[in-house]
Structure 1
Amino acid sequence: MKFNGELLKKLVDAFSPSGDERIVAEIIKDEIKSYVDEIIIDSLGNLIAHKKGNGKKVMVAAHMDQIGLLITDIDEKGFLRFTNIGGISPYISYGQRVVFKNGRIGIVYAESMDDMSKLKLENMYIDIGVNSREEAEKRIGIGDTCVYISQYYEDENNVISGCLDDRIGCYVLIEALKDLKNVENDIYFVFTTQEEVGLRGAKTSAYRIDPDFGIAVDITGSGDTPKAKRLAVGLNKGAAIKVKDNSIIVNPKIKDFMVEVAKENNIPYQLEVLEYGGTDSGAINLTKEGVPTGAISIPTRYAHSGSETISKNDVNNCIKLLTGILNKKIEF
């Protein structure tokens, strides 16, 4: 399977922090419009692409949004104070360059501190190179958002970039959708909003669709770096099939079904037991009376940084696994 780096770069370069996912939604819409029967963008900004079938109703979700910073105040010298959008670490943010939607660049730094182990976001600011509040307000306003600047890098084995959480999940959905031919299932590919701030888009879109079966595709951590938190997931070991995270305990019949598909198609896989975090699977699972839901995860190093790292082989195996699942008759 050829890896489409051009498409992934286009996805990760799109400015789309939680709550403002319009740019990446348009890219995805243009990419998939000839492969589906209907596309709608709902009132929360979720992009819902319907590939019609007569079988069970299946919802596949990956989130479009990325973590970011939101401006809360501007001081008299023009330095910007901010809060987080999603899981922002002060230590990863320190010294980072950020970009606003209008293209303005800033540098994240911190007040002088005797003990940097006590660093918090409230001690930090963004310098956009002005000398007064008046100058700053001509360029940036309260409530404006920015994201880390990162450079896309790809070699024969890996991809390194910011924003792979979860543009790589969106990529997997797009490429799987292109591979599907005549499927029996009635499939909704949902590119969700505001996952990083509480799985919000998945909640509303799942309520609208009312699926019989749900699958989320997102990143997960890795336990294969020096002294990493224990996790039996690593790069280049295959698609990760979720067993548990903080948002869901996957029903064993769903997990076993996904493992069976992997084995039938000779797809390398690993089982993921994550002791933190969550994905859109948790929101889909709790919709209405409950929806049987599983998740496919892409092992990722250095999550929520500007240098998230993934294996191309793992990504291709996730596409194969998702395609295999969607081609199967769903009987639960």
Structure 2
Amino acid sequence: MFDLIKRLTDSFGVSGNEEGIREAIINEIKNDIQVINVDALGNLFAIKRGKGKKIMVAAHMDEIGVMATYIDENGFIRFSNVGGVSQFVSVGQKVRFKNGTIGAVFYEDKLEDMKSLKLSKMYIDIGAKDKKEAEKSVRIGDVACFVGDAVRQGNMVISKAIDDRSGCAVLIKAIKDLPETDNEIYFVFTVQEELGLRGAKTAAYQLNPDFAIALDVTATGDTPEANLMEVKCGNGPAIKIKDRSVICHPEVKKLLEESANRINVPYQFEVLEFGGSDPGAIHISGGGIPTGAISIPCRYLHSPVEAASLQDIENAAKLLVEAIK
């Protein structure tokens, strides 16, 4: 599982620019699935045909990043966020543009109080001597992801873009491990989740499935002085009850709980008091779609050092296969 996650997190896929990660996923599944399609927005559909229940299984493949908005005469690049980028987490980090150009993120020297730090007071240094040289590598509108190579430490994986390449890894593993079933299953790798669940909305509208299950990460309550929360890394995948975008359908929640009990997979319940994820868009598409979610506990969300348990990810894949087979 670690090697798969490393290949996925190494791939470039800032929201709205998912071509690289989409191609990486296609290479992983092309020999294991009947049909592969890409829609107009960029969602990737891997389809297992059948005559039973029509099931949508989703994980978003995009990651947060930054976009170049202005290049000054000295070659320093001003930028805006693409998704939920923290100015404090970004300081001193490296970013990589789609063409491979690496830059250092820092803030204006005149800043007197770090509490007043804003992205508008920060810049990217790509080592250019002036604007003309910088423009040879970066143009206005170019996007960059954060640099954070995947490493394994004990049973934990630490990397950028665990949100949600870990969920994509679960879908890939499920595609490979799924036994014969009459159900018609649409594995959907969605785009632009970090910008407002956009890909999931269009995908669910197209498919109108009998029910849906989404895979994503969730916050934890197991770090020093963390906000009180039941979810902990290493205690199993979490079955979502609610976040700010969705209250999960009780029958899908029941299905996931019963599936976990059947195969003795440890699990937790997730009540997330902030944020939203793809189920928030899926469940209100069309005339409404019963939707649930399996969440992977993850520390340090939206940073280059997101950390998750490899065992939790493996168990999430087992749980998903049991629920949809």
Task: State the TM-score, normalizing by the size of structure 2.
Answer: 0.98
- Report the alpha carbon displacement of residue 103 of structure 1 after superposing the two structures with TM: 1.1
Q: In the alignment, does 2:115 pair up with 1:117?
A: yes
| Structure 1 residue 127 displacement after superposition | 0.7
Aligned length: 324
1:148 aligns with: 146
Letter in 2 for 1:28: I
CA distance in 2, matches of 1:224, 1:59: 31
Aligned to 2:233: 235
Report the alpha carbon displacement of residue 181 of structure 1 after superposing the two structures with TM. Answer: 1.9
Rounded Cα–Cα distance in structure 1 between residues aligned with 2:102 and 2:259: 46
Whole-Å separation in 1 of the counterparts to 2:47 and 2:215: 17
How far apart are 1:192 and its partner, in Å?
Answer: 0.5
Matched, 1:158 2:156: yes
How many angstroms apart in 2 are the aligned matches of 1:189 and 1:244?
A: 22
Counterpart for residue 246 of structure 2: 248
Q: How big is the shift at 1:314?
A: 0.6
Shift of the alpha carbon at 1:147? 1.0
Please give the alpha-carbon distance, in whole angstroms, between the structure 2 residues aligned to 1:186 and 1:15: 30
Match of 1:21 among 18, 21, 29: 18
1:304 and 1:253 map into 2 onto residues whose CA distance is 31
- String of CA shifts for 1:212-252, please: whole Å, max 9, x gaps: 10111000001000110111100110110000001101122
Find the partner of 1:206 among 204, 207, 219: 204
Task: Tell me by how many angstroms 1:5 deviates.
Answer: 2.0
| Gaps in structure 2 of 5+ consecutive residues | none
Residue 83 of structure 1, CA deviation: 0.5
Residues 12-34 of structure 1, C-alpha deviations (whole Å, 9 max, x = no match): 00011001111111111121122
**Which amino acid is the alignment partner of residue 246 of structure 1?**
R
Structure 1 residue 269 and structure 2 residue 263: aligned?
Answer: no
1:53, distance to aligned residue in structure 2 (A) = 1.3
Question: 1:144 Cα shift?
Answer: 0.4
How many angstroms does 1:155 deviate by?
3.4
Say if 2:8 and 2:21, in contact at 8 Å, map to a contact too. Answer: yes
Which residue of 128, 131, 134 corresponds with 1:133?
Answer: 131
1:166-177 alignment runs, 5 A limit: 166-177=164-175
CA separation in 1, counterparts of 2:91 and 2:31? 43
Q: Which residue of 2 aligns with 1:10?
A: 7
Distance 1:206 1:37 in 2: 20
Instruction: Point out where structure 1 has 5 or more consecutive residues left out of the alignment.
Output: 328-332
Secondary structure of the residue aligned to 1:300 is strand
What whole-Å deviation, never above 9, does each CA across 1:31-63 have from its counterpart, x for those lacking one?
A: 112222111011111110110111111000001
CA distance in 2, matches of 1:32, 1:280: 22
| In 2, Cα distance between equivalents of 1:226 and 1:6 | 29
- Identify which range, 15-24 or 291-300, moves more after superposition: 15-24
Q: Please give the alpha-carbon distance, in whole angstroms, between the structure 2 residues aligned to 1:309 and 1:141.
A: 32
Deviations 1:126-152 (A, max 9, x none): 011112111111211000011111121
Q: Which deviations, in whole Å up to 9, do the C-alpha atoms of 1:69-102 show, x marking residues without a partner?
A: 0011111111101000000000000010111111
CA contact (8 A) 2:236 2:268 kept: yes
Q: What is the distance in 2 between the residues matched to 1:147 and 1:303?
A: 15
- Spell out the pairing of 1:179-328 with structure 2 (5 A cutoff): 179-327=177-325
Instruction: Please list the CA deviations of residues 189-213 of structure 1 after superposition, one character each: whole Å capped at 9, or x if unmatched.
Output: 0001111001111111111111110
Q: How far apart in 2 are the matches of 1:220 and 1:236? A: 13
Tell me, what secondary structure is at the counterpart of 2:133?
A: helix
Question: Which residue matches 2:78?
Answer: 81
Q: Give, in whole Å, the separation in 2 of the partners of 1:198 and 1:109.
A: 27
Question: Which residue in 2 is equivalent to 1:330?
Answer: none
Rounded Cα–Cα distance in structure 2 between residues aligned with 1:155 and 1:282: 33
* Counterparts of 2:74 and 2:226, CA distance in 1: 41
Q: CA deviation at 1:287?
A: 0.6
RMSD of aligned C-alpha atoms?
0.9
